[in-house]
Amino acid sequence: MQLIDSHGRIHDYLRLSLTSHCDLRCLYCIPEDGEHPFLDNRWMTAEEIYGIAGIFKQAGINKIRLTGGEPLVRKDIQKIMDYLARLRVPLSMTTNGVRLAEIIDLVEAGFLESINISLDTLRRDRFFAITKRDKFDTVFGNISSLIGMKVKLKLNVVVMRDINDDEVNDFVELTRFWPIEVRFIEFMPFSGNGWGQKKIVGAGELMRLIGQKYSCHKVPDHKHDTARKYQVEGHRGKIAVISTITQPFCSGCNRIRLTADGKMKNCLFSQTEEDLLMPYRAGRDILPLIRRSLRAKAAQTGGQLPFGSEEWEAESLINRSMITIGG
């Protein structure tokens, strides 16, 4: 059984948001007027997460990534991970790294295949300016403790002009001795995050900046990769660029997103959502709803982002804030 959209793309990767809460306040994720959290009874319970994820697995999903908000603020995170381990599909997580020490035993036990940690600066004062929290030492210490463990470790760096673009090569330098992948992500527009085209540092500009100091070569891509990977000469780790805005990669998309309140988004930028949680609670078969949502998937970026238009404004985007979608 496969989940195929109207453009022939097979979807086998579920990005599963556990909560819209976070213990950081990153400026590109949370709306300028503050977080818009859900009431707890609107979130999926651990049992509902397991049940709905099981239906996705039966329909062809073979990889699950846990996201948030911040997934580790869920008090029942270990219960959720125990449940999902029963599905026997590779499990990954995207986290801000603040609470990683709380699940270090699960990491050591091999529960997670990979961990993506969001870190946009290597400077303590700038970390506070971006996140509104003084947690840099905690996050960097947790990252350091994972080095050498049997888990793929990636750092997600959202690059924003005149905010942290002067640190790009500082992040590249981390890969000299650490076997990690540093992923530079173009600043993307979401409700209330202050996005503007002039704030984007595009993939081409990023690679020119890196090329001024480092020699690197392209690593072959896989069909569904969102990141274009490069090996820096003499470095243990790799770098990558996620070019959602300037060089979209929608033709190979295999991702489905499920928000913490049980809404399926067939694209990060989709205007519409399919409610799966309420029908699931009512005992209905949600597989037809999943297939209906996929059939409506646009060919590129939710049908919303008119690339190449200098007149386009982020306010015209019909979407949630990033924190309520899931990373």
Query: Quick one: pLDDT at residue 250?
Result: 84
Model pLDDT, residue 269: 79
| Least trusted range by pLDDT, from 72-81, 143-152, 264-273, 313-322 | 313-322
Model pTM above 0.85? yes
Q: What confidence tens digit (pLDDT) does each residue in 230-278 have?
A: 999 999 999 999 988 888 778 889 999 999 999 999 988 788 899 999 9
32 pLDDT band, cuts 50/70/90, is: low
Rounded Cα distance between 148 and 294, Å, is 39
Neighbours of 271 (CB within 10 A): 14
What pLDDT digit, counting tens, does each position of 43-57 carry?
A: 899 999 999 999 999
pLDDT tens digits, one per residue of 159-210: 999 999 999 999 999 999 999 999 999 987 766 666 777 888 999 999 999 9
CATH of the domain at 23: 3.20.20.70
In whole angstroms, give the CA distance from residue 194 to residue 47: 37
* Contact of 183 with 241, CB cutoff 8 Å: yes
Domain that holds residue 277: 3-325
Question: Per the structure, how many domains does the chain have?
Answer: 1
Three-state DSSP class for residue 229: strand
Given a contact cutoff of 8 angstroms between Cβ atoms, the answer to whether 319 and 305 are in contact is no
- How big is the chain, counted in residues? 327
